Amino acid sequence: MPLPVGQLYQKKELGNGTIGSLKDYSIYTVTAATDIDYGVALDIQDNQAVVAAKAPIYAISVKRAYVIGHSYDDIEDDHWLKGEKIGALRRGSVSVPITEDVGRLDQATINADGTFRPAKPGEPVVGRFITAGDANGTAIVDVNLTDMGTTGTGTTVDKLSTPATDTNTNNQSAGTSSTTGTDKKGDK
């Protein structure tokens, strides 16, 4: 039987992967490609979640509301297992593991293991810390992750057909399209 977690048995600061504020948030569901800890940055590989090694990131893993285990000692080591559908926060506030001291409103970035720290000048920013925290503890980071400003990988799920093009735009014949199939105005 799963053990309910809630706020019981947590330290004063929120545990990793806990929703960190009452403001609106957006959580997607994705399959874990490997075992994934709570509160770490995620990326997508082969349509599955993996721990992100660098920014930009896809989302942050949130914890589930129960623990798989037989005693309360299992709570501390619980995590998402390979193949599970996991919660991936794309917008909102969540408690995350930090490796350096952070101040309230510091810009946040990630380490190669998906944990968080303050961003240094010139580093990509994934969000802002809304609470202060001590190194090797937790802090709440606020994010609004989009795919804007990122570079495409060229990977697609479905192959799109490309309409015929006429390289000579002054001499187009009827029925020939001058688009390349990449203009998707109106598609969401």
Per-residue pLDDT at 11:
53
Q: Nearest CA to 180 among 159, 155, 160, 163?
A: 163
The CATH code for residues 3-144 is: 2.40.300.10
Per-residue pLDDT at 148:
64
With 0-12 / 13-18 / 19 or more C-beta atoms within 10 angstroms meaning exposed / middle / buried, residue 44 is middle
pTM value > 0.85: no
What distance in Å separates the CA atoms of residue 119 and residue 93, rounded to the nearest whole number?
A: 17
Per-residue pLDDT at 66:
78
Q: What is the CA radius of gyration of the chain?
A: 21
Please, are residues 56 and 150 in contact by the beta-carbon 8 Å criterion?
yes
Tally of CB atoms within 10 A around 161: 5
Q: Taking the chain (188 residues) in consecutive chunks of 10 residues, what is each chunk's mean pLDDT?
A: 49 76 92 97 97 96 84 80 96 96 96 97 95 95 82 48 42 38 39
Domain assignments of the chain as residue spans, ordered by start: 3-144
